[in-house]
Amino acid sequence: MKSHEKNIDLQSKYSVTAFFYDLLDYPWERQYRQWRPALVGDLRGRVLEAGVGTGRNLEFYHQDVELLGIELSEHMLRKAERRKAKARCDVTLVQEDATVMSSIPSHQFDWVFSTFMCCVMPDDIQALALEQFSRVLKPGGRFRLLELVYSKNDKIRKKQQAFAPFVEKVYGARFDRHTLQHLERSAHLKVTHTSFLKDDTYLLIEGVRDS
């Protein structure tokens, strides 16, 4: 697998984090699990899930989906492999860097989907991942990304700021990534809708690749 040099440290971090990821994530997973059916349940056709993680979304995809899940960390991917048995659709899992996607041909997918990948990815290489999303999507293909951002509510933001060092150390994630702005500057990806799933922190970004 080819990997961008700025993702090497992230890959190394998850060689440790992967072993505790589901346990660490449990308090939040109680909320996320309620969202997952709606996030992926309406997707159809060929779907690329970027940053498939430990495979928490796999069981919620419709049976008519042909899913390719990619993940930077081989250790996370091993956990996802064990969750394939719960999936109703065809699933292929591949270790791949979302900023490179060297093993994936162009214009293959009806959907690109991702949860919390871009907030983990270094901000200055996010545009590379979005270029890859654009490349692998069919003309007219759609994307849906869920990301964490800083709240404009002072009370919520202070809690996020207090927790931010832990989040970055363990997950490599930050609340101040600029994913939406990168998308708005994309040559071929058009944002069609944004919304928040909770407060103004869980940002859902939806859009389409132009034809």
CATH number of the domain residue 54 falls in = 3.40.50.150
pLDDT surpasses 80 at 29: yes
The pLDDT, as a whole number, for residue 7 is 85
What does the H/E/C string look like for the chain? CCCCHHHHHHHHHHHHHCCCHHHHHHHHHHHHHHHHHHHHCCCCEEEEEECCCCCCCHHHCCCCEEEEEEECCHHHHHHHHHHHHHCCCEEEEEECCCCCCCCCCCCCEEEEEEECCCCCCCHHHHHHHHHHHHHHEEEEEEEEEEEECCCCCHHHHHHHHHHHHHHHHHHCCCCCCCHHHHHHCCCCEEEEEEEECCCCCEEEEEEEECC
Q: What is the pLDDT of residues 77-124, one digit of tens each?
A: 999 999 999 999 999 999 999 999 999 999 999 999 999 999 999 899
Confidence (pLDDT) at 3: 73
Count of domains observed in the chain: 1
Q: What is the pLDDT of residues 133-142, one digit of tens each?
A: 999 999 999 9
pLDDT at residue 201 is higher than 90: yes
Backbone angles phi, psi at 74, to 5 degrees: -65, -30
pLDDT at 132: 97
Sheet with 137-148: strands ordered across: 90-95, 65-71, 45-50, 109-115, 137-148, 202-209, 189-196
Q: Is the pLDDT of residue 9 over 90?
A: no
Q: Which domain holds residue 130?
A: 5-209
Q: What is the pLDDT of residue 62?
A: 98
What pLDDT is stored for residue 140 in this prediction?
Answer: 97
Cα end-to-end span (Å), the chain: 30
pLDDT for 142 equals 98
Percentage of residues in the chain having pLDDT higher than 90? 92
User: Which residue, among 35, 37, 68, 38, has the nearest Cα to 51 in the 3D structure?
Assistant: 68
Question: Which pLDDT does position 6 carry in this prediction?
Answer: 76
pLDDT score of 37 more than 90: yes
Tens-place pLDDT, residues 47-71? 999 999 999 999 999 999 999 999 9
pLDDT band at 8 (very low <50, low <70, confident <90, very high): confident
The torsion angles phi and psi of 205, rounded to 5 degrees, stand at: -115, 125
pTM above 0.85, yes or no: yes
Identify the pLDDT of residue 80. Answer: 97
